[in-house]
Amino acid sequence: MKFGKEFKKRKVPEWTDAYLDYNGLKRILREILLYKLSKQPPTPLRDLHQKLKLHRSFSGLHAESRYPIGKGDIEEQVIDVKRLPRDGSGHFYKTDFLRQSEGGGEIEISFFRKLDQELNKVNTFYKDKVEAVMSEAAELNKQMDALIALRIKVERKNPSGDNLTAMPLRSDTRSTTRTPGTGHMTEPEVEMSDRSRQEESLDTWSDNAASETSDLTLGVDMSDNYQVKESTGGPEEDPAPTTNCSSYDREEENINKGKEDSLEILEHVKINNTLESPMSTIKGVFKDSKDDELRFKKEELKKVEDQLKRVFIEFYQKLLLLKHYSSMNLAAFSKIMKKYEKITSRRASRSYIKIVDNSYLGSSDEVNGLLERVEATFINHFSNSNRREGMKLLRPKAKREKHSVTFLSGFFSGCFIALLVAVVLRIEARNLMDKKEGALYMVNIFPLYSLFAYVVLHMLMYAADIYFWRRYRVNYPFIFGFKQGTELGYREVFLLSTGLAVLALTSFLANLQLDMGSRAQHYKKLTQLIPLCSIIIVIVIVFCPFDIIYRTCRFFFIKSVFRCVCAPLYKVTLLDFFLADNLTSQVQAIRSIDLYICYYGLGEYSQRQEKCHSHGVYNTLYSVVAVIPFWLRFLQCLRRLCEEKDAVHVYNGLKYFLIIVAVLIRTAFELKKGRTWLVLALVSSACAIAMSTYWDIVVDWGLLRRKSKNPYLRDKLVISNKSVYFVAMVLNILLRIAWMQLVLEFNLHSLHKLTITTVISCLEIIRRGIWNFFRVENEHLNNVGKYRAFKSVPLPFSYYDDDKETDKDD
């Protein structure tokens, strides 16, 4: 693979603009090459030679030098790179090209001017990011001090407890001796040696004077009776026991003193209440403070350790991205200068690369040092000194593509097409659409299986979204907060959707075969339970605790749905309201669940829909379930309004409130009929559609910006073909209006009404799939604009003394 493609592929998506503009520099080099070729006399043979030369220069195939290698002083005559002070702080680089008078010199000046701009940009960005992680490392150091002190405190409070910490902090209280001159240590002495190594590991982690507390507390021995007889001389010396005891007493006294000093940290620390659970949210409503007092319990220590473990893992990922950013840019500078040498035959690469290597980008070693310290600290404190386990948790998980997924996707797709053809042929063979009884049967049986159709269509749209997100390098795993290496690709989602479609069509075909057969009465009870069995199979697979069928993703989905249902008791993340928005497009699927409750819960499965509509409970549920997704989104808007104090959530909540009113009036019109309800339904639906369409295009997609670089779109686009955005906006408007057609009075056969309802519901799912792509694209571009490539993990401890001092200064 060419370096240019590899460079583009391996960029951190959110930092694309901060990388070296490799393609821009290549375009300038192409201009230099074309200029040089234009100065040569054109002949047929030379034209062919020029084309080959142009191809080789940019393909990487022409590796040999086309000029003699001279001495080093020749390089100095080509360019002169200066390091100048910048206003405020820092430095910038400026290159003087010393061959301006030669042909094409103006183009080469522009090349080095562009190269200097890129070097200054990359240096500034990298330095800012390194300073940010160094500041975060200092904060993590304080968090570790508090954690170690908390471990000691909990161990003191629970002297007979289990192993609470991730590393041994306690030793036996038995006294031990060591034979002079043998060099063999008994068990307690080995533990003392382990503590010494622990002290060294924490010392490497600490970069400031405050780390001395951590070093001391990490090596604290929890026992009060610890006696060691130690040799201070050679094999022939045997010091008096009293001297050894006195020496150790002083050592033990110093350790105990350091231990007490380290525990003083807990007097200035509180645990942050992040309101991550319904109970913590409810408690937070009745408490002014967002901090909890330390109670020194095992559960509290376990929670803090888990939280800090996540913080360290995320911090390590940041450092790896920064290291990768540095190495990729250094390689890009080297490659572009080699191309310059090949095209111009000037020896300037060594001089410029030397400057790049001496710049902050090439000479800074803070990231590598932090990586080593984080590894040592994480292994010692969070993986019980097991390096393999620790590095397994720290390193990013690479996702592996499996051939079995592609094979099974093709297999299920073939089965899906075959079963669909079989169902159509079965319906045509029985003339179900032409007979009154057959049409009534389809009206009653189809709503049970339409649930599967809506879910399969939604999954197929999601698979298409993933495909295009990956194609256009939209970082959807980071946006949704998926655990690295566990997110599903479009192949996996397509496999699941086709598998579900095969299950649904198989059940539907079995229903048709048994119901329409000559012995239908013998299988009546069995056919009535087939839809229910299909639903039970799906539910069992979703909640299956075994590590099969993407367990991690299934549980992640269950957790996300639970957070949506519990709104507003959880802090709202992008994934939460994204999932809730998708649920609003599945109103008909949720109503199909209502039918299942009526058929099998109320014992009306023999009469099916005809009997269900006479139940007041069914009609109530029919109205309520359609409102639930919009109500959840409304509650999420209220939660975000309370936390962020942003007026935009008021307007967003108003939008969902209008939709709730429209859905309720439409449902009342559908059940009661009447001209008055029709007018109210049309007016309420029109208001809801107008506001929702505006919100989709302007707020969620960020389009229709009149002062944008791209007229009526936005400044940054991931799709180069701008017409795609205009088509998407028109489709969104049309499909929103199609949703309104359900309000109109249709004097049609019940089967035709069911068909229209199904088609419009499917169109709404397709509209949501289109909305998903552009919504995530807009979020991705917002992250790119702010260079946000990391998840924000809250810290467990807060130091409230700093706040008090700030208040006094104010």
CA nearest 35: which of 102, 124, 120, 134?
102
Residues near 64 by Cβ (< 8 Å), separated by ≥ 6? none
Output the average pLDDT for the chain.
Answer: 76
CA nearest 592: which of 622, 614, 613, 632?
622
**Residue pair 772/696 in contact by the 8 Å Cβ criterion:** no
- Position 38 scores a pLDDT of 75
- Low-confidence stretches of the chain (pLDDT < 50) are 45, 48, 59-76, 161-243, 245, 248, 288-289, 606, 747, 802-810
Residue 82 DSSP label? E
CA-based end-to-end distance of the chain? 59
**Residue pair 575/560 in contact by the 8 Å Cβ criterion:** yes
Q: Is the dihedral of CA 698, 703, 704, 706 positive or negative?
A: positive
Three-state DSSP state, 439 = helix
Q: Token pair of 530, please? A: 């087939």
pLDDT tens string 500-522: 999 999 998 888 887 766 565 56
Across-strand partners of 312? none
**Nearest-angstrom CA–CA distance, 493 and 498:** 9
**Nearest-angstrom CA–CA distance, 554 and 565:** 17
Three-state DSSP state, 608 = coil
- Position 87 scores a pLDDT of 67
> For residue 327, what is the enclosing H or E element?
helix 298-344
pLDDT tens string 289-320: 455 566 667 777 888 888 888 889 889 988 99
pTM: 0.78
**Residue pair 275/281 in contact by the 8 Å Cβ criterion:** yes
**Nearest-angstrom CA–CA distance, 320 and 583:** 37
What is the 3-class SS of 231-299, one letter each residue? CCCCCCCCCCHHHHHHHHHHHHHHHHHHHHHHHHHHHHEEEECCCCCHHHHHHHHCCCCCEECCCCCHH
Pairing of β 228-229 and β 79-85: unpaired
**Nearest-angstrom CA–CA distance, 691 and 188:** 73
Three-state DSSP state, 617 = helix
CA nearest 291: which of 806, 801, 805?
801
**Nearest-angstrom CA–CA distance, 400 and 678:** 55
- CA separation (Å) from 155 to 168, 172, 298, 692, 724? 11, 14, 9, 57, 63
Q: Token pair of 360, please? A: 């902050």
CA nearest 637: which of 582, 691, 568, 693?
568
**Residue pair 678/655 in contact by the 8 Å Cβ criterion:** no
**Nearest-angstrom CA–CA distance, 782 and 777:** 9
Count of residues making up the chain: 810
Three-state DSSP state, 715 = coil
Crossing angle of the two packed helices 105-157 and 298-344, in degrees rounded to 10: 170
**Nearest-angstrom CA–CA distance, 176 and 170:** 16
Q: Would you call 232 exposed, middle or buried from its count of C-beta atoms within 10 A (0-12, 13-18, 19+)?
A: exposed
- Position 222 scores a pLDDT of 28
Query: What is the DSSP code string of 659-706?
Result: HHHHHHHHHHHHHH--HHHHHHHHHHHHHHHHHHHHIIIIIIS---BT
Annotated domain spans of the chain? 135-308, 403-471+489-549
